[in-house]
Every structure is written in C-alpha cells, then in structure tokens.
Structure 1
Amino acid sequence: MSEKIAVLGAGSWGSILASVLDENGHDVRLWSYNPKQVEELNTEHTNAHYIKNFKFSPSLVAYSDLASALDGVQTILFVVPTKAVRSVAGQVATILQKTKNQPALIHASKGIEQKTYKRISQVLAEEIPAANRKSITVLSGPSHAEDVARHDLTLVTAASESLDAAKHTQQLFMTTYFRVYTNPDIIGVEIGAALKNIIALGAGALHGLGYGDNAKAALMTRGLAEISRLGTSFGADPMTFIGLSGVGDIIVTATSSNSRNWRAGDELGRGEALDDVINHMGMVIEGLATTKAAYELSKKRGVSMPITEAIYQVLYEGKDIRKAISDLMQREGRSEF
C-alpha cells in the first residue's frame, strides 16, 4: 500500500533511500535545509554534490519548508547527521503538536550524540512525545548509497522494540535489490551502526600507511570485539554483532573507498592533517565525533576498547599513528575470548 513519507536529510544516503521509496510507489517528500539543493533536485533531478551521475525520478519532490514536507505524512524517515538530529526532531515535534498528526518514525543515521552519549532513537523519543508519534524503528546495515543507486544487491535490518513497526519498515523498503530483515535489538543495531565508523577510520589509516590485508583483518575482528563489549554492557544481544548491522556493516565500511570514514582514515595515514581531511571531504565524517563519544563512554562504563582509545589519541591528542599502532601491538598478551 502506498504511503505519504517525509525523508528528512538530502545527503547521499537520505536522497537514495528516498529514491528507493519513490520507486516503490510511495508519495515521497525529501526535505533539505539548503534551498539551492532543493531547487537542483526539483529542476535537474540530480544531487551532484552527494551522488554523482544519478538521475532521480521527477516524481520525487524536494522541500525546503519542513512543515510542507510533513503535511499529512504517515511516516517520517530521519537521515540527518547525528549532531542535527535533536534540533530537527524538536522542529518536527512542534509541527506535529500543531497538526495532531501521529506518524511512524524511522531513522537511518549512524552515530552517538556528543556529551549525552544517547543513541539516536533515544534522542527522537526525548524530543518527539509519544502522543505525537508511533513507535521508532532504525534502518541499518552494510549499504553504500552509491551501490544502492545502481541497484546493487543490498541487505539491511529494521530494528524496533515493536515487531509490527519493524515489519512496517520492511514492507516500505523491500525491492528486488534491497532486502530488509527485522530485528528486536534496537540497542545493538544502533551501537553497531555507530561504532563501525571508528573501525573504518582505522582501516583507512592502515591502507594509507601501506599495511596489508592481515592488518586490516586484525583491526576489523578485534574492533568488532570492542563494539560487542560496549553494546552488551547496555544489554544488546551479542548475536546482533555477527549480523548485518555488526560484522556486515564493518566489512562494507572498512574496506571501501565509498566510505567517507575510510577515505578520511586513508588521508590521515598518508600524513594529511585532520583539519585538511575534514575540509577535503565536504561531507560529515561521523566517525570523528563517534570516536570521541565511544572513548568517553568506554571510560565511564569501564569497558576495554584499546583500538578506539588509540584512534582517539591520534585524532584528539596528536599521537603519531605509527606509535599508536606499535603500542597496540606491544600490549601484554591475553586470551582472545
């Protein structure tokens, strides 16, 4: 059944998810704070800064006015950067309180809020009262926007405390090339989605330094162990981390130049200054803020995360990357499990 859906955030992932929904016959409103981007989407049907050489369907309409984008929608999909989620959700709540609309909420952003260490679903729940929304679902998994744009086979997870909500998201997005599974472990899915960006930074740095496949496999495997330790300390299901939003997301993000986190790490490994890397990217590098949040959270909860700590020291304390790697390798021997 066709739905009226607002997609908030017209970056690479937001615009391509909007395109998937549009292809599935839904009435999709794509919102961006940038009027020039909205004009380009509506007149040229392109989003060149984020997705090169891709034409969107003329049936996909972009909006710069949030209230207009939300008018009468049954579902809202948040795909804004983590640092903007609380602000945008607050604006959405104000509009929903006036219109008395009660849409389902989905988010496909990947990060942890700075200082509060809240997961995105927690931020949405705090900012949008239950009276103004239905349940909250997270859509996550190994997926590059560029690959979805060319209809590469993609599998992701819809996680929610409500199985009906997860199934609703599944039904909205399922296509011949985009397959969605359900999962009740929203904690594990969100933590895996956020923290894999830290490992992608490290994997990119290893590539930039000239290390080979052995080093990258070691980083991804032990990085996954760290993610699992932190996630299970919050009550996440350990099985989630060997699924799509755990090992799957690490593989795709830590091995591909399509990942801006991997590209940022690669440039750091090649000797670029962090400020220059940020300026070159021209898009949000979620892993930078997530590294800081995860490091601080690990200290607060007493969870051992030596790789995360090493990457934090490189990013925020100016530690030499090679020294950070050497220190990791020369830690006291221990059991793998």
Structure 2
Amino acid sequence: AISAARMNARRLPGVTLPESIRIRSVDDELSELGVGDLLVIAIPSDAIRGALAQVTVGGAHVVMASKGLSREGERVSELAVAAGVSPSTLFTLSGPNLAREIAAGKPAAAVLASQGAPREDVLAALARPTFRIYMSDDPIGVEVAGALKNVLAIAVSGVRSLGYGENAAAALLSRGVAEMARLAEACGGRAESAFGLAGVGDLVLTASNTGSRNARLGELLATGASVSAAVETIGATVEGIPTAHGALLLAARLGVELPITAAVVAALEHGVSIERLAEGLLGRAPTAEWH
C-alpha cells in the first residue's frame, strides 16, 4: 500500500513521499480537513465526482491539478463546486509538469489560477526552489487550455507518427492552440491562457513526450490499432478520450468551431483513420487564421 511504503511503486517507483503529506484512500473519511488545510486533487477527471463525494472539505483550500473534462463537458472546477467546494477556496494548477521530473527536483514551472487575489499561503505551500509558480486570475482559461491539450496531443502525435513531418505537426499544434483560445473565451475565460504554460507549454510537452498516454494513443491509432486495443496496451486512463467527447459537446452548446477536436472524436468514436483525419483537416475551406 502507498500509505505503508510511502511510495507509489506503480507510477513513481523510487520516489519516497515526504512525511508532511497525509496519504488517504478515497474510501477514507477526510473529516479532519479544516481551514488552512490544502487538498490537492490530481486524479482522472471522470473520478473526481465520486472522490469528492467522500471528502469533507470544510474550509480547506482545494487545488485542482486534474486536467480534463467530463464526457458531459463539465470542467473539473464545476465538478468540485457541484460537490460543495466554495469557488473562493478553489485553485487550478496547470502546466508542463512531468511528475517524475518534479519529484526528482528538476526545474519546472506551472500556473496557479484562482478567482480574485492570489493566496500567498497556497503559493508558498506549492512552490519550491526548482518549481516556479506563476499566478493567474483566469481559472477558466487555464482549465480549458489544460484540458484541451490532452485531445490535441492525440492528433499531433498521430500525424507525427505517420511520418508526415515536423511541418505538419507544428501546424497542427499551432492551430490546436487557436482552438484552446476560442473555447476558453466562449467559456468565459481569456484567450491569453492558451498561449501560456497551461496551453502551448503543456501541449508541446504532452505531444512530444513518449511517456504521455495521450501521445501514445495517437501513435497506436496511427498504426491502425483500435481505441480499445490501444487503451489496453497503455494500461492506464487516457484523459484525452472523455475530454474529446466532452469538449465537442461543450463547443456545440457554445457555438464554437473545433475542427481538430472534432477530427479526434471521429477517430476515437467512429473509427476514422488518422490518415483520413489529416486529409479532412487539410481539405477544409480556406479561412482567416484568427476568427
């Protein structure tokens, strides 16, 4: 058990968790949480609703490090608020952050977003000499960017794996950032968050990192593997799958065009090949770069 060994041998073998971290399972009642405590949620987005139902948050600060959308298009912060978390104590942490590198003390940066003025105590609890945190008052934009990068990484990785070249991968990545910006604004956030750590920063990392589950899914789909076979090979939750479905539903409700996201959904849910995905995107009618 993680609590006994103080180590997640499956995900982070060799990394000992410090004594300052209280380890609990989702079956434990966390009624001891109170004002000033810090609860970090870093689990798959589709597990958040059930996990928070078993947590008594009280006056604790809640940091959402999960990146994704529910299949119904709900942001993780919306799931938290629905579970009783006050928006005034809710924070979003996002950025290009590989857990193993952070645990090893390698330099990294992230953005901490919240409504209103930043909380210096929360910032101090998370920041480290090698982990720089920037502040933002755009939690919606940060959250949308961090969620959509999962979907876009599938497309970028798939196209790259087909041997289409770095020009194609770079074009797809940059147009993906435009989708982030449009959806962020439509949700009430700011487009600028798509161009920061949570957006382009995390997308560059996720799409190019061989250890990324979303990138690995894109690679496997490019070989002709089915989604179910690819997920079985990966052996873990692939956040981009429910997020793609949810993002397209959300975009439809808001009247936002997300062609790359729609193409990924076609591949995931309708068996469209990555080759046809790329052809369909290239064959779209000419349009302005920003609209």
Question: What TM-score, normalized by structure 2, do the two folds share?
Answer: 0.92
CA offset digits 1:106-149 (Å, max 9, x no partner)? 1100111222x22111111121154xx95100111111112212
Report deviation, 1:60: 4.6
Name 1:104's counterpart in structure 2.
61
Name 1:246's counterpart in structure 2.
199
Q: How does 1:308-327 map to 2 (within 5 A)?
A: 308-327=261-280
Name 1:79's counterpart in structure 2.
42
Name 2:23's counterpart in structure 1.
62
CA offset digits 1:244-265 (Å, max 9, x no partner)? 1111111111111121111111
Q: Do the aligned partners of 2:59 and 2:89 also contact (CA within 8 Å) in 1?
A: no
Q: Do the aligned partners of 1:105 and 1:134 also contact (CA within 8 Å) in 2?
A: no
Tell me the SS of whatever aligns to 1:191: helix
- CA gap 1:176/1:129 in 2 versus in 1, 3 angstroms: closer
Q: Which has the higher contact order (CA 8 A, sep 6+)?
A: 2
Q: How does 1:183-262 map to 2 (within 5 A)?
A: 183-262=136-215
Name 2:232's counterpart in structure 1.
279
Name 1:123's counterpart in structure 2.
79
CA offset digits 1:222-272 (Å, max 9, x no partner)? 000011111111221122111111111111111111211111111111222
Tell me the SS of whatever aligns to 2:185: helix
- CA gap 1:47/1:221 in 2 versus in 1, 3 angstroms: same
Q: Does 1:42 align with 2:1?
A: no
Q: Do the aligned partners of 2:180 and 2:191 also contact (CA within 8 Å) in 1?
A: no
Between the aligned partners of 1:311 and 1:105, the Cα distance in structure 2 is: 32
Q: Do the aligned partners of 2:28 and 2:54 also contact (CA within 8 Å) in 1?
A: no
Question: What TM-score, normalized by structure 1, do the two folds share?
Answer: 0.80
Q: What are structure 2's unaligned runs of at least 5 residues?
A: none
Report deviation, 1:212: 1.7
Q: Do the aligned partners of 2:74 and 2:246 also contact (CA within 8 Å) in 1?
A: no
Name 2:13's counterpart in structure 1.
52
Report deviation, 1:150: 2.0
- CA gap 1:83/1:296 in 2 versus in 1, 3 angstroms: same
What is the root-mean-square deviation of aligned Cα atoms in Å?
A: 2.0
Partner AA of 1:127 in structure 2? A
Partner AA of 1:114 in structure 2? R
Identity of aligned residues (%): 30
Report deviation, 1:82: 0.7
Report deviation, 1:90: 1.7
Q: How does 1:101-180 map to 2 (within 5 A)?
A: 101-115=58-72, 117-128=73-84, 130=86, 135-165=89-119, 167-180=120-133
- CA gap 1:102/1:221 in 2 versus in 1, 3 angstroms: same
Q: Do the aligned partners of 2:95 and 2:201 also contact (CA within 8 Å) in 1?
A: yes
Partner AA of 1:328 in structure 2? L
Q: What are structure 1's unaligned runs of at least 5 residues?
A: 1-38
Report deviation, 1:70: 5.0
